[in-house]
Amino acid sequence: MIYDNLGKFNHYIVLPHFNKSVAKILEKIPKEKLLVLDIDVKEFGQDYSILYQNFEKNIYSGLTECLDKIKKYQSLNLVLSSKSFQYTPQGIIKGFTSFCEKYSITHDIISDLEEEYDLSKNHAYIVFREFDLINLINWCTKNHWKFGQEIGVLSYDDTPLKEIISEGITVMSNDFSLMGKRAAEMILTKEKGRFSNNYYFIDRKSI
């Protein structure tokens, strides 16, 4: 797509959601026209414009904020998906693993959360997809389990829905509003450099 569109636009904003280097492709775009958003391209220097999420640091910090609540569960499970397109940065897995190892938290990475999966009482889960969150809510309703008591749930990235469902879902979220404003500023002012966007943690009743 990049090769087919070189020279057609004044600016290129690229979110390189891949767990492998894309630097040799992106460097085809003149650096004064390129903004790399969301993902850090470590091969690029300060003469590029990069606004990224520090996934490893953010998930580690967010989990640390609710450490005492996590400790009341038998394990903490990171739910990913292998059956649908879901980009999961390696930084999230590293941050999750580092947190659990430092604080001696029993943990697991679940490739898919399907109905046949034995959802366990007194365990906590981190979910990314809305589909997985809905499944958790349905299964807990059937079993009469309450979030924050019999089972713990954290979700990545906030939405208005997560503020109200099941009395509120605890979230770790990139500040997307700020990222949009900063991206616009960097384009308008032609600002160069590597910048980490802010994240926030909201502790609700689900953990």
- For residues 90 and 127, membership in a common domain is answered with yes
What pLDDT, on a 0 to 100 scale, did the predictor assign at position 88? Answer: 81
123 is a domain residue:
yes
Global pTM reads 0.87
- Look at residues 104, 116, 103, 111 and name the one whose alpha carbon lies nearest to residue 77: 111
What pLDDT, on a 0 to 100 scale, did the predictor assign at position 111? Answer: 78
203 is a domain residue:
no
- Look at residues 133, 132, 122 and name the one whose alpha carbon lies nearest to residue 75: 122
Between 120 and 103, whose confidence is greater?
103
- For residues 77 and 154, membership in a common domain is answered with yes
Across 23-31, average pLDDT: 94
* Pair of tokens at residue 197: 């966007």
Please, are residues 102 and 60 in contact by the beta-carbon 8 Å criterion?
no
- For residues 95 and 166, membership in a common domain is answered with yes
How far CA 149 is from CA of 91, 122, 206, in Å, comes to: 29, 8, 8
- For residues 62 and 33, membership in a common domain is answered with no
- For residues 23 and 35, membership in a common domain is answered with yes
- Flag whether pLDDT at 116 surpasses 60: no
pLDDT grade for 58, boundaries at 50, 70 and 90: very high
Query: Angle, to 10 degrees, between the axis of helix 55-65 and the axis of helix 90-102?
Result: 40
Across 153-177, average pLDDT: 92
- Identify the CATH number of the domain in which residue 163 sits: 3.40.50.2300
* Residue 23: Cβ within 10 Å count: 13
What pLDDT, on a 0 to 100 scale, did the predictor assign at position 139? Answer: 87
Across 91-96, average pLDDT: 94
Q: Domain tally for the chain?
A: 2
pLDDT grade for 19, boundaries at 50, 70 and 90: confident
In terms of Cβ atoms closer than 10 Å to its own Cβ (0-12, 13-18, 19+), residue 93 is middle
Domain hosting 34: range is 2-53+174-198
